[in-house]
């Protein structure tokens, strides 16, 4: 599978822990991530991550383009709903594209864990 990992600043530590917790599973797939999130994941795991730009610099749009072009199978986007994001229109567009193209999207750790459990067949 081709999986995107994205996290807002206040959710990056949670995403890193998620990647560590599921490193064995994720290592069997092609991983993409927005810039800072991907770099932090690579610093804290042995995962190979294909980096896009940082979210505010167009990374969310790059991931959105991948969704629209059928190049992603699953998106984990740990959003911070309590902090205004300067690139909120890009975030909204990415979420909308997941719905338009029927790409599974987990926006929090509980949903992401359920997705992984289901994919592992547990």
Is residue 21 annotated as part of the catalytic site, yes or no? Answer: no
> Dihedral angle at the C-alpha atoms of 88, 75, 53, 23, nearest 10 degrees?
130
CA-to-CA separations, 117 to 14, 36, 114, 120, 121, in angstroms, rounded: 18, 26, 5, 5, 6
**Spatial contact of 49 and 3, defined as CB atoms under 8 Å apart:** no
Distance, CA of 31 to chain centre: 9
Catalytic residue among 9, 24, 60, 102: 60
Length of the chain measured in residues? 122
Place of tokens 């994919």: 119
- Catalytic residue numbers read 60
């Amino acid at each position: 599978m081709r999986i995107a990992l994205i996290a807002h600043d206040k959710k990056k530590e949670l995403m890193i822990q998620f990647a560590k917790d599921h490193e064995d599973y994720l290592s069997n797939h092609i991983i993409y991530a927005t810039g800072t999130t991907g770099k932090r994941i690579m610093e804290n795991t042995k995962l190979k991550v294909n980096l896009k730009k940082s979210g505010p610099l167009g990374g969310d749009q790059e991931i959105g383009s991948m969704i629209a072009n059928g190049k992603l199978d699953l998106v984990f986007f740990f959003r911070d709903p309590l902090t205004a994001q300067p690139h909120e229109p890009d975030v909204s567009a990415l979420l909308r594209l997941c719905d338009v193209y029927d790409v599974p999207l987990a926006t929090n750790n509980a949903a992401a864990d359920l997705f992984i459990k289901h994919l592992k067949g547990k």
